[in-house]
Amino acid sequence: MTPAHARSLNSDDVSAVAPDPGAPEHLPDHPRGSVPDDGCMDIDKALDFVRVNHKAVLATLKKDGTPALSPMTVGVDDDGHVVISTRQTAYKVRHIRRDPRVWLAVLPEGFFGDWVQIEGTAEIVDLPEAMEGLVDYYRRISGEHPDWDDYRAAMVRDQRCLLRITLAKAGPNVSG
């Protein structure tokens, strides 16, 4: 993915529709200056971005319908789900149990630059079933743990669970 494919885009921004004289000749599948109706990008490209950018803000819905935002560390599992480790007692888990729709803004380490927005549904995997997924999550993001027995004990002690997000939509596909 080239940087131009993941820069922020507000599809309601009128200036994004007008051709930009400094824009590249074309973006994949879209003529110069055009913005697709839905602003979506290929989900596989979004997953590739998440595989190397682990900082994100997760949005869930409170009971009253307003968003609850949480900074998170994210990864991608072998099945193409975005995965997050969290506590079973966290408000975000309560929100997801009630309404599994979630949104993520995945950001680079330095905050500014390329980013991806993801929409999807979250499945909560509780312990003990979540343990191997939690180990895999850690390995993909941080590498080998110095003491896996200690890590596993901490997951139980902290009442961790794994969120597995199935992507429905990702974007933006152009810079604005």
- Domain range list for the chain: 3-171
What is the CATH T-level fold of the domain 3-171, as seen in this structure? Pnp Oxidase; Chain A (2.30.110)
| Cα separation values, 156 from 31, 50, 128, 134, Å | 52, 27, 8, 11
pTM for this prediction: 0.77
Average pLDDT over residues 124-139: 98
Report the pLDDT value the prediction gives residue 116, as an integer from 0 to 100.
97
Average pLDDT over residues 45-53: 97
For the cut 50, the answer to whether the pLDDT of residue 3 exceeds it is no
pLDDT at site 17 = 27
Reading phi first (left if > 0) and then psi (alpha if -120 to 50, else beta), residue 59 is in beta
Nearest to 116 by CA among 160, 165, 67, 61: 165
* Lookup: tokens for 113: 């630059």
DSSP state at residue 38 = S
- At 40 the pLDDT is 84
pLDDT surpassing 80 at residue 151: yes
Q: What is the spatial distance between Cα 77 and Cα 24, in angstroms, rounded to a whole number?
A: 33
Spatial separation of the C-alpha atoms in residues 125 and 79, rounded to whole Å = 14
What pLDDT sits at residue 38? 61
Dig out the tokens for 31 from the structure. 């003529």
pLDDT-based confidence at residue 139 (cuts at 50, 70, 90)? very high
